[in-house]
Amino acid sequence: MESKRSELLRASPRMFENDLLDRFSRVHHFVPLAIFLPVIAVFLYLGFDRVGTGGTLLLGLGGYLFWSLSEYWIHRAIFHWEPEDGWGAKLHWMIHGVHHDHPNDPLRLVMPPAASIPLATLFVIAFVVGFSSAMASMVIACMLVSFVLLAPSIVVGYAVKAAERDDIERGL
């Protein structure tokens, strides 16, 4: 029988009174793969022919580093900004706090498409405006690869932590 703590951590609390909004606040961790893999393929196709293998590898590394640093900064500066009360506290809880309050909730491990698609669109616009189309295509593709690879690593990390907690609770 599962412990009460595990059940509480796995709970999936409502964020919105509206059923449709609340439904869109949850997502299976394979959904970002299904959405972004075709987008990645298109950007790789658009850019590879123009920058070649060496350029692809270099820009790929750039996209990976850019997303890694961006994700770290977004996580530290925005997701872990914790206002005490009011709308800021509610917004923080909806964006990221629920993920910490209920870390075993399998439908809140990754950012839902309702948030990740607009965020990705902002990055795409910034790169298209700031770079040549070939460079932008490759950096965007590799940045999205980094984003997509983050989801499985989060799932594995939480699975390992959950197994360790269960072992501790069982006295193993």
- Give the pLDDT confidence of 21-56 residue by residue, as tens digits: 888 888 888 888 899 899 989 888 888 888 888 888
Residues contacting residue 64 through CB under 8 Å, at least 6 positions apart: 142, 143, 145, 146
Contact yes or no for 5/169 (Cβ under 8 A): yes
Contact yes or no for 136/51 (Cβ under 8 A): no
CA 102, 77, 144, 146 dihedral sign is negative
Residue type, 130: G
Report, as an integer, the average pLDDT of 110-128. 86
Contact yes or no for 123/45 (Cβ under 8 A): no
Contact yes or no for 141/43 (Cβ under 8 A): yes
Residue-level length of the chain: 172
Q: Can you give the residue ranges of every domain in the chain?
A: 31-170
What is the model's pTM? 0.68
